[in-house]
Structure 1
Amino acid sequence: MTVSNLKSITLFVADQDAALAFYAHKLGFTVRQDVSNGEHRWLEVVPQNAQTGVLLLRPFPGIQAGTARGIMLAVPDVETAATELREAGVEVSGPTQMPWGLEATFSDPDGNGFVLSAA
Protein backbone atom coordinates (compact mmCIF):
# COMPACT_ATOMS: atom_id res chain seq x y z
CA MET A 1 0.00 0.00 0.00
CA THR A 2 1.22 3.48 -0.87
CA VAL A 3 -0.36 6.49 0.81
CA SER A 4 0.22 9.74 -1.06
CA ASN A 5 -1.29 12.14 1.50
CA LEU A 6 -3.91 12.61 4.19
CA LYS A 7 -7.21 13.37 2.45
CA SER A 8 -9.08 14.68 5.49
CA ILE A 9 -9.45 14.62 9.24
CA THR A 10 -12.80 14.61 11.04
CA LEU A 11 -13.73 17.05 13.77
CA PHE A 12 -17.01 16.68 15.60
CA VAL A 13 -18.80 19.98 16.15
CA ALA A 14 -22.08 20.82 17.86
CA ASP A 15 -23.15 23.42 15.27
CA GLN A 16 -21.90 23.05 11.70
CA ASP A 17 -22.87 26.60 10.69
CA ALA A 18 -20.99 28.10 13.66
CA ALA A 19 -18.00 25.87 12.90
CA LEU A 20 -18.08 26.93 9.25
CA ALA A 21 -18.08 30.59 10.28
CA PHE A 22 -15.04 30.00 12.53
CA TYR A 23 -13.01 28.01 10.01
CA ALA A 24 -13.89 30.22 7.04
CA HIS A 25 -13.83 33.69 8.63
CA LYS A 26 -11.25 33.33 11.38
CA LEU A 27 -8.89 30.72 9.90
CA GLY A 28 -9.41 31.55 6.21
CA PHE A 29 -10.32 28.00 5.11
CA THR A 30 -12.49 27.50 2.02
CA VAL A 31 -15.39 25.09 1.53
CA ARG A 32 -14.45 21.98 -0.45
CA GLN A 33 -17.83 20.25 -0.04
CA ASP A 34 -21.11 21.12 1.62
CA VAL A 35 -23.67 18.43 0.82
CA SER A 36 -26.82 17.48 2.71
CA ASN A 37 -28.55 14.12 2.61
CA GLY A 38 -31.63 14.20 4.77
CA GLU A 39 -30.55 15.13 8.29
CA HIS A 40 -26.87 14.46 7.53
CA ARG A 41 -24.53 17.16 6.23
CA TRP A 42 -21.06 16.50 4.79
CA LEU A 43 -19.17 19.75 5.38
CA GLU A 44 -15.50 19.83 4.43
CA VAL A 45 -13.24 22.87 4.62
CA VAL A 46 -9.63 23.14 3.55
CA PRO A 47 -6.75 25.53 4.24
CA GLN A 48 -5.64 27.55 1.23
CA ASN A 49 -3.43 25.47 -1.11
CA ALA A 50 -3.65 22.39 1.14
CA GLN A 51 -4.49 18.83 0.16
CA THR A 52 -5.85 17.76 3.53
CA GLY A 53 -9.38 18.85 4.34
CA VAL A 54 -11.22 19.08 7.63
CA LEU A 55 -14.62 17.40 7.91
CA LEU A 56 -16.89 19.32 10.27
CA LEU A 57 -19.47 16.72 11.26
CA ARG A 58 -22.15 16.51 13.91
CA PRO A 59 -21.28 13.88 16.50
CA PHE A 60 -22.49 10.33 16.09
CA PRO A 61 -24.19 8.66 19.07
CA GLY A 62 -21.60 8.10 21.79
CA ILE A 63 -19.21 10.75 20.43
CA GLN A 64 -18.85 14.19 21.96
CA ALA A 65 -18.10 17.39 20.04
CA GLY A 66 -14.80 19.11 20.74
CA THR A 67 -12.67 16.13 21.75
CA ALA A 68 -9.81 16.42 19.22
CA ARG A 69 -6.46 17.67 20.54
CA GLY A 70 -3.01 18.40 19.17
CA ILE A 71 -3.89 18.95 15.53
CA MET A 72 -0.79 20.60 14.06
CA LEU A 73 -1.20 23.43 11.57
CA ALA A 74 1.93 24.42 9.63
CA VAL A 75 2.35 28.18 9.20
CA PRO A 76 5.23 30.20 7.73
CA ASP A 77 5.59 32.31 10.89
CA VAL A 78 4.08 31.26 14.23
CA GLU A 79 4.23 34.75 15.79
CA THR A 80 2.49 36.37 12.81
CA ALA A 81 -0.16 33.64 12.67
CA ALA A 82 -0.85 33.98 16.40
CA THR A 83 -1.22 37.76 16.04
CA GLU A 84 -3.59 37.38 13.08
CA LEU A 85 -5.75 34.92 15.01
CA ARG A 86 -5.91 37.26 18.01
CA GLU A 87 -6.93 40.11 15.71
CA ALA A 88 -9.73 37.84 14.38
CA GLY A 89 -10.96 37.30 17.94
CA VAL A 90 -9.42 33.89 18.63
CA GLU A 91 -7.91 33.23 22.07
CA VAL A 92 -4.33 32.03 21.48
CA SER A 93 -1.75 30.76 23.99
CA GLY A 94 1.86 31.50 23.17
CA PRO A 95 3.92 31.51 21.10
CA THR A 96 6.10 29.43 23.37
CA GLN A 97 9.59 28.21 22.56
CA MET A 98 9.64 24.44 22.95
CA PRO A 99 12.70 22.15 22.50
CA TRP A 100 11.39 21.24 19.01
CA GLY A 101 10.49 24.78 17.96
CA LEU A 102 8.15 27.70 18.45
CA GLU A 103 4.46 26.89 18.85
CA ALA A 104 1.16 28.52 19.78
CA THR A 105 -2.14 26.86 20.63
CA PHE A 106 -5.83 27.66 20.26
CA SER A 107 -9.19 25.90 20.21
CA ASP A 108 -12.23 26.13 17.96
CA PRO A 109 -15.61 27.08 19.50
CA ASP A 110 -16.28 23.41 20.38
CA GLY A 111 -12.94 22.92 22.14
CA ASN A 112 -11.05 21.02 19.42
CA GLY A 113 -7.39 21.92 20.06
CA PHE A 114 -4.82 23.10 17.52
CA VAL A 115 -1.08 23.80 17.53
CA LEU A 116 0.52 26.34 15.21
CA SER A 117 3.96 25.16 14.18
CA ALA A 118 6.52 26.56 11.74
CA ALA A 119 6.24 25.00 8.29
Structure 2
Amino acid sequence: MAINTVKTLTVFVSDQDRARDFYVEALGLEVKTDQTFGDNRWLEVGAPEGTTLVLHKPFPGMSAGGGQGTILASDDLNADVSRLQAAGVIVEGPDEMPWGTQATFSDPDGNGYVLQG
Protein backbone atom coordinates (compact mmCIF):
# COMPACT_ATOMS: atom_id res chain seq x y z
CA MET A 1 0.00 0.00 0.00
CA ALA A 2 1.26 3.47 -0.85
CA ILE A 3 -0.61 6.57 0.23
CA ASN A 4 -0.14 9.22 -2.44
CA THR A 5 -2.35 12.09 -1.27
CA VAL A 6 -4.57 13.41 1.52
CA LYS A 7 -8.01 13.77 -0.07
CA THR A 8 -10.08 15.50 2.63
CA LEU A 9 -9.84 16.89 6.14
CA THR A 10 -12.97 17.18 8.27
CA VAL A 11 -13.66 20.43 10.12
CA PHE A 12 -16.45 20.20 12.68
CA VAL A 13 -18.73 23.23 12.57
CA SER A 14 -21.90 24.23 14.41
CA ASP A 15 -23.66 25.80 11.39
CA GLN A 16 -22.82 24.46 7.93
CA ASP A 17 -24.33 27.43 6.06
CA ARG A 18 -22.37 29.95 8.15
CA ALA A 19 -19.22 27.86 7.70
CA ARG A 20 -19.77 27.65 3.92
CA ASP A 21 -20.12 31.43 3.75
CA PHE A 22 -16.89 31.93 5.76
CA TYR A 23 -14.79 29.45 3.78
CA VAL A 24 -16.09 30.66 0.40
CA GLU A 25 -16.35 34.41 1.00
CA ALA A 26 -13.52 35.06 3.48
CA LEU A 27 -11.04 32.39 2.35
CA GLY A 28 -11.93 32.33 -1.34
CA LEU A 29 -12.44 28.56 -1.51
CA GLU A 30 -15.10 27.02 -3.75
CA VAL A 31 -17.87 24.57 -2.95
CA LYS A 32 -16.89 21.17 -4.36
CA THR A 33 -19.84 19.11 -3.08
CA ASP A 34 -23.01 19.98 -1.18
CA GLN A 35 -25.27 16.94 -0.79
CA THR A 36 -27.90 15.93 1.72
CA PHE A 37 -28.33 12.27 2.62
CA GLY A 38 -30.89 11.45 5.27
CA ASP A 39 -30.29 13.69 8.28
CA ASN A 40 -26.72 14.43 7.18
CA ARG A 41 -25.14 16.90 4.81
CA TRP A 42 -21.79 16.48 3.02
CA LEU A 43 -20.39 19.96 2.40
CA GLU A 44 -16.92 19.99 0.87
CA VAL A 45 -14.92 23.13 0.01
CA GLY A 46 -11.46 23.60 -1.42
CA ALA A 47 -9.05 25.36 -3.73
CA PRO A 48 -9.21 24.43 -7.42
CA GLU A 49 -6.75 21.58 -6.77
CA GLY A 50 -5.57 19.66 -3.73
CA THR A 51 -6.99 18.56 -0.42
CA THR A 52 -10.54 19.63 0.40
CA LEU A 53 -12.21 20.46 3.72
CA VAL A 54 -15.43 18.71 4.72
CA LEU A 55 -17.54 21.09 6.84
CA HIS A 56 -19.52 18.66 8.97
CA LYS A 57 -21.69 18.79 12.06
CA PRO A 58 -19.98 17.19 15.07
CA PHE A 59 -20.72 13.55 15.74
CA PRO A 60 -22.37 12.66 19.09
CA GLY A 61 -20.02 13.41 21.97
CA MET A 62 -17.95 15.88 19.93
CA SER A 63 -18.10 19.66 19.69
CA ALA A 64 -17.41 22.21 16.98
CA GLY A 65 -14.29 24.33 17.06
CA GLY A 66 -11.74 21.75 18.20
CA GLY A 67 -9.56 21.69 15.10
CA GLN A 68 -6.13 23.29 15.35
CA GLY A 69 -2.95 23.27 13.31
CA THR A 70 -4.16 23.10 9.72
CA ILE A 71 -1.70 24.99 7.50
CA LEU A 72 -2.88 26.70 4.33
CA ALA A 73 -0.47 27.96 1.64
CA SER A 74 -0.72 31.40 0.02
CA ASP A 75 0.90 32.85 -3.10
CA ASP A 76 0.27 36.39 -1.78
CA LEU A 77 0.11 36.36 2.02
CA ASN A 78 -0.41 40.11 2.44
CA ALA A 79 -3.31 40.18 -0.03
CA ASP A 80 -4.93 37.15 1.63
CA VAL A 81 -4.53 38.70 5.09
CA SER A 82 -6.13 41.91 3.79
CA ARG A 83 -9.04 39.93 2.31
CA LEU A 84 -9.59 38.08 5.60
CA GLN A 85 -9.52 41.33 7.58
CA ALA A 86 -11.95 42.97 5.13
CA ALA A 87 -14.29 40.03 5.79
CA GLY A 88 -14.14 40.78 9.52
CA VAL A 89 -11.74 37.96 10.44
CA ILE A 90 -9.30 38.65 13.29
CA VAL A 91 -5.83 37.83 11.95
CA GLU A 92 -2.59 37.69 13.92
CA GLY A 93 0.43 38.55 11.81
CA PRO A 94 1.86 38.21 9.29
CA ASP A 95 4.98 37.40 11.29
CA GLU A 96 8.42 36.34 10.15
CA MET A 97 9.23 32.91 11.56
CA PRO A 98 12.35 30.75 11.12
CA TRP A 99 10.46 28.69 8.50
CA GLY A 100 8.88 31.65 6.65
CA THR A 101 6.16 34.26 6.93
CA GLN A 102 2.79 33.30 8.38
CA ALA A 103 -0.44 34.63 9.83
CA THR A 104 -2.99 32.87 12.04
CA PHE A 105 -6.77 33.11 12.30
CA SER A 106 -9.83 31.10 13.35
CA ASP A 107 -13.12 30.30 11.66
CA PRO A 108 -16.43 31.28 13.34
CA ASP A 109 -16.38 28.05 15.41
CA GLY A 110 -12.83 28.58 16.68
CA ASN A 111 -11.02 26.12 14.39
CA GLY A 112 -7.52 27.56 14.09
CA TYR A 113 -5.51 27.96 10.88
CA VAL A 114 -2.01 29.00 9.89
CA LEU A 115 -1.66 30.81 6.57
CA GLN A 116 1.89 30.61 5.21
CA GLY A 117 3.33 32.70 2.40
What TM-score, normalized to structure 2? Answer: 0.94
Which consecutive unaligned segments of at least 5 residues does structure 1 have? Answer: none
Q: What are the Cα deviations for residues 69-119 of structure 1, in whole angstroms up to 9, with x where unaligned?
A: 11100001222211121112211100111111111000000000000112x
Match in the other structure for 1:22: 22
Higher alpha-carbon deviation: 86-95 or 103-112: 86-95
Match in the other structure for 1:46: 46
Partner SS, residue 66 of structure 1: coil
Paired with 2:97 and 2:50, the residues of 1 have a C-alpha distance of: 27
Paired with 2:113 and 2:51, the residues of 1 have a C-alpha distance of: 15
Opposite residue 35 of structure 1, the aligned amino acid is: Q
Match in the other structure for 2:85: 86
Opposite residue 68 of structure 1, the aligned amino acid is: G
Opposite residue 8 of structure 1, the aligned amino acid is: T
Matches within 5 A, 1:72-111: 72-111=71-110
Match in the other structure for 2:59: 60
Paired with 1:27 and 1:103, the residues of 2 have a C-alpha distance of: 15
Is 1:113 equivalent to 2:112 in the alignment? yes
Partner SS, residue 68 of structure 1: coil
Paired with 1:35 and 1:111, the residues of 2 have a C-alpha distance of: 24
Match in the other structure for 2:12: 12
Paired with 1:78 and 1:31, the residues of 2 have a C-alpha distance of: 22
Paired with 2:61 and 2:100, the residues of 1 have a C-alpha distance of: 36
What TM-score, normalized to structure 1? Answer: 0.93
Which consecutive unaligned segments of at least 5 residues does structure 2 have? Answer: none
Deviation at 1:26, TM superposition (A): 1.1
Paired with 2:78 and 2:30, the residues of 1 have a C-alpha distance of: 23
Paired with 2:76 and 2:45, the residues of 1 have a C-alpha distance of: 22
